[in-house]
Amino acid sequence: MGDEKALIAVLRGETRPAPPIWLMRQAGRYLPEYRALRAKAGSFLETCYTPSIAAEITLQPIRRFGFDAAILFSDILVVPDALGQKVSFESGSGPKLEPIETPDHLNRLAETFDVERLSPVFETIDRVKSALPADVAFIGFCGAPWTVASYMIAGQGTPDQAPARLFAYRHPDAFARLIDKLVDASIAYLARQIAAGVEVVQLFDTWAGVLPPSEFDKWVVAPLQKIVAGLKEKRRDVPVIAFVRGAGAHLPDLAARLGADGLGLDTSIDPKWAADRVSNNVALQGNLDPLALLAGGESLDRQIDSILRVFEGRPHIFNLGHGILPETPLEHVSRLIERVRVGRR
Ligand code: CP3
């Protein structure tokens, strides 16, 4: 099997006696050491742009739990920030951006994306790289164009991204220009993260599930295909994971068409249904319910075991079906890791 890091080996199609494990949002509010650092630092974006602090937060979950991968501490909304849209995070109420209400407002954005505006992120990556244990993989990320555009247009989180869906119906050409701009920015940004030292990248399409099929193809599948192809052209060796939340029945098609090495499964996907329909050359990642992890107890054990059983013998990365919840007890996370690694005898 060689001594390749477990996460990378699985993304190349190998199987492991126990799957590698990391958790979406593993660097975050459920950790007391994160809350302590955040209380001392400035705003959330300042925290993201201060390499010494962002690097420390990236490493916190590795020190405490020994996950198989570290994910860069940053946010998907640094890209609109770098494009010149004002972004802020208010505690408790989530992100706030100056909304894009008409096609004219798109002219407020920078003509082209200047990747070096995010240079603190690359310095963070450099710092983490030199502090990471040898067997821990380093994941970079960005938001997928549809998800990032949906925040750019609404200016905040919404239950169903209605503002972006309406904008795309009313102004399809202007919306396509925004998506194209985000495709180009994502390729440049991820390529630069890779140059700085990340070894795997994940694309987060958190809001894919709100789109009807015709729109799904235009705003989710096509842009993700372009990003994967653009990255593979530059760095064929770097694995790509796509987390397309709410993909549902589109999943087998995504596995066949995106060109990604791994696909994230959200909580709603039946693991067996996915395993039966996705070929073994695409790793599957997921998909424990974050609420089961919060609840703990027997229902947690049962859900862990059933996920492990279904994916046994095929490339699998253990993860949640969405981000870890801030109220999650630390003991439940330790218990999860122990139980997943029992097979690593
Ligand atoms: O996963 C990690 O640990 C790495 C860091 C990371 C953050 N955000 C830190 C963060 C990652 C990968 C993200 C991705 C992200 N950001 C997504 C896609 C994944 C998902 O969870 O759906 C989205 C949609 C965002 C946008 C965003 N950032 C929202 C809607 C919010 C507010 C709501 C919330 O969950 O807190 C954020 C803030 C944010 N991003 C926090 C963290 C740790 C909390 C900020 C704080 O400390 O107060």
Q: Which atom of ligand 1 is nearest the CA belonging to 24?
A: 1
Is 151 catalytic? The answer is: yes
List pocket residues of ligand 1, CB cut-off 6 Å: 24-29, 38, 44, 71, 73-77, 89, 91, 94-95, 141, 143, 157, 204, 206, 323
How far apart, in whole angstroms, are the C-alpha atoms of residue 288 and residue 320? 4
| Catalytic annotation, pick one of 68, 75, 81, 205 | 75
What's the CA-to-centroid distance between 28 and ligand 1, angstroms? 8
How far apart, in whole angstroms, are the C-alpha atoms of residue 56 and residue 36? 12
3-class DSSP state of 143: strand
How far apart, in whole angstroms, are the C-alpha atoms of residue 341 and residue 345? 8
Select from 22, 23, 25 the residue to mutate for testing ligand 1; criterion: most ligand atoms less than 8 Å from CB. Answer: 25
How far apart, in whole angstroms, are the C-alpha atoms of residue 165 and residue 212? 10
Q: Terminus-to-terminus CA distance in the chain, angstroms? A: 16
Tally Cβ neighbours within 10 Å of residue 334.
13
| Catalytic annotation, pick one of 30, 34, 38, 289 | 38
- 275 falls within a domain: yes
pLDDT for the residue 92: 74
Asked if pLDDT for residue 295 goes beyond 60, the answer is yes
- 136 falls within a domain: yes
- Which is nearest to 143 in space by CA: 34, 271, 242, 266? 242
- Which is nearest to 60 in space by CA: 39, 41, 32? 32
Is 25 catalytic? The answer is: yes
Is 29 catalytic? The answer is: yes
Residue 120's contacts (CB-CB under 8 Å, 6 or more residues apart) are 48, 49, 50, 51, 54
Asked if pLDDT for residue 91 goes beyond 80, the answer is no
What's the CA-to-centroid distance between 282 and ligand 1, angstroms? 26
* Strands 94-97 and 87-90, sheet pairing: antiparallel
Domain count, the chain: 1
Asked if pLDDT for residue 1 goes beyond 60, the answer is no
DSSP state, 217?
A: I
Give the residue whose CA is nearest to atom 40 of ligand 1: 75
Quote the longest CA-to-CA distance of the chain.
60
Q: Which domain holds residue 56?
A: 6-344
| Catalytic annotation, pick one of 30, 49, 151, 189 | 151
Q: What is the pLDDT of residues 151-190, one digit of tens each?
A: 999 999 999 999 999 999 999 999 999 999 999 999 999 9
pTM (2 d.p.) = 0.97
pLDDT for the residue 343: 62
Select from 75, 91, 138, 202 the residue to mutate for testing ligand 1; criterion: most ligand atoms less than 8 Å from CB. Answer: 75
- Helix, strand, coil percentages (3-state) for the chain, rounded to 5, are 55, 15, 35
Is 30 catalytic? The answer is: no
**Residues 260 and 279 sit within 8 Å (Cβ to Cβ):** no
Distance (Å) of CA 214 to CA 2, 44, 205, 218, 335 = 44, 36, 17, 7, 42
How far apart, in whole angstroms, are the C-alpha atoms of residue 264 and residue 24? 10
Q: Give the pLDDT band (50/70/90) at residue 93.
A: confident
Radius of gyration, alpha carbons of the chain: 19
Task: Tokens for 300, please give them.
Answer: 């947690």
- 206 falls within a domain: yes
- 47 falls within a domain: yes
Task: Count CA atoms within 13 Å of residue 337 on its CB side.
Answer: 16
Phi-psi sector, 2: left (phi>0), alpha (psi -120 to 50), beta: left
Mean pLDDT score of the chain:
96
pLDDT for the residue 344: 60
What's 170's domain CATH number?
A: 3.20.20.210
What's the CA-to-centroid distance between 224 and ligand 1, angstroms? 20
- 84 falls within a domain: yes
What's the CA-to-centroid distance between 153 and ligand 1, angstroms? 18
**Residues 337 and 65 sit within 8 Å (Cβ to Cβ):** yes
What's the CA-to-centroid distance between 75 and ligand 1, angstroms? 6
What's the CA-to-centroid distance between 31 and ligand 1, angstroms? 14
CA dihedral 196, 201, 191, 74 (to 10 degrees): -60
Select from 76, 146, 324 the residue to mutate for testing ligand 1; criterion: most ligand atoms less than 8 Å from CB. Answer: 76
- 229 falls within a domain: yes
Q: Give the pLDDT band (50/70/90) at residue 345.
A: very low
How far apart, in whole angstroms, are the C-alpha atoms of residue 136 and residue 59? 11
Residue 177's contacts (CB-CB under 8 Å, 6 or more residues apart) are 106
- 1 falls within a domain: no
Q: Which atom of ligand 1 is nearest the CA belonging to 71?
A: 4
